[in-house]
Amino acid sequence: MDKVPSRAEISAMRRSYGEIGLDSLPSDPLEAFGIWLNDARANPLAVEANAMVLSTVDHLGNLTSRTVLLKGITDDCFTFFTSYTSRKGLAIHSQPQVSLLFPWYPLERQVSITGIAEKISREESEEYFASRPWESQIGAWASKQSQPLGSRAELEERYNAAATKWPRGTTVPMPDYWGGYNVAPESIEFWQGRYSRLHDRLRFERTSQSDHDSGEKTEWEITRYYP
């Protein structure tokens, strides 16, 4: 096995960043995010451009992070799907404040978001679940996500049992412990690497919520921060 890189080798991992600034970002951060997500999607080096690091805090204050996939942006909220009884699901249940981080290193960009996670409706989750490949649907039944697992064989037995119950081509129901969350952003920060470590940081902080009835749009205060 390769040895772990030395301290000198790790600290020599250094590159300088480019000339593109943040001055041209739209004043609506969701629109700006859409442009950046499209840029990442178009860059073959940015694999899994819709992957984001979700951090949660549980009722004891323990912080954990993991990757989940962004599956949609609806009503200005960021949607992902998971097991509601997973470690992250239980953390969100007691503490809905979360952070989302999109690390788009090949573009010398990151977007970090803070917000409040809320379960989406069962109907919306079912709609997405029905669109997933059969293997993923069966996998959702097989996994007691975040529970200790005795052996790999046990997981495969559970998968085979679910596959026998709902053979390929039949409708697989959505487990009631599974579904989506919407994260309503309270702040969205855009980071663009620049020359001489003089990076650009622009943070949009929500000052008012959109209101369907009055037609009022969400308002954001924009602050530039030292890098």
Where in the sequence numbering do the catalytic residues fall? Answer: 197
Of 9, 48, 154, 216, the residue at the interface with ligand FMN (CB under 6 A) is 48
Of 45, 69, 161, 222, the residue at the interface with ligand FMN (CB under 6 A) is 69
99 binds ligand FMN (CB under 6 A): no
Where is 80: in which H helix or E strand? Answer: strand 77-83
66 binds ligand FMN (CB under 6 A): yes
Residues 187 and 35: their CA atoms lie apart, in Å, by 17
Residues 204 and 190: their CA atoms lie apart, in Å, by 8
Nearer to ligand FMN, 180 or 193 (CB): 180
68 binds ligand FMN (CB under 6 A): yes
Nearer to ligand FMN, 4 or 47 (CB): 47
DSSP 3-state of 99: strand
Of 55, 85, 87, 124, the residue at the interface with ligand FMN (CB under 6 A) is 87
> According to CB under 6 A, which residues from 133 to 172 bind ligand FMN?
145-146
Q: 136 Cβ partners below 8 Å, 6+ apart?
A: none
Q: 144 Cβ partners below 8 Å, 6+ apart?
A: 85
Nearer to ligand FMN, 179 or 185 (CB): 179
Q: Which residue has the tokens 């992070």?
A: 65
- In 3D space, the residue among 225, 222, 227 whose CA is nearest the CA of residue 188 turns out to be 222
The residues that touch ligand FMN, with contacts defined as CB under 6 A, are 48, 51, 64, 66-69, 80-82, 86-88, 145-146
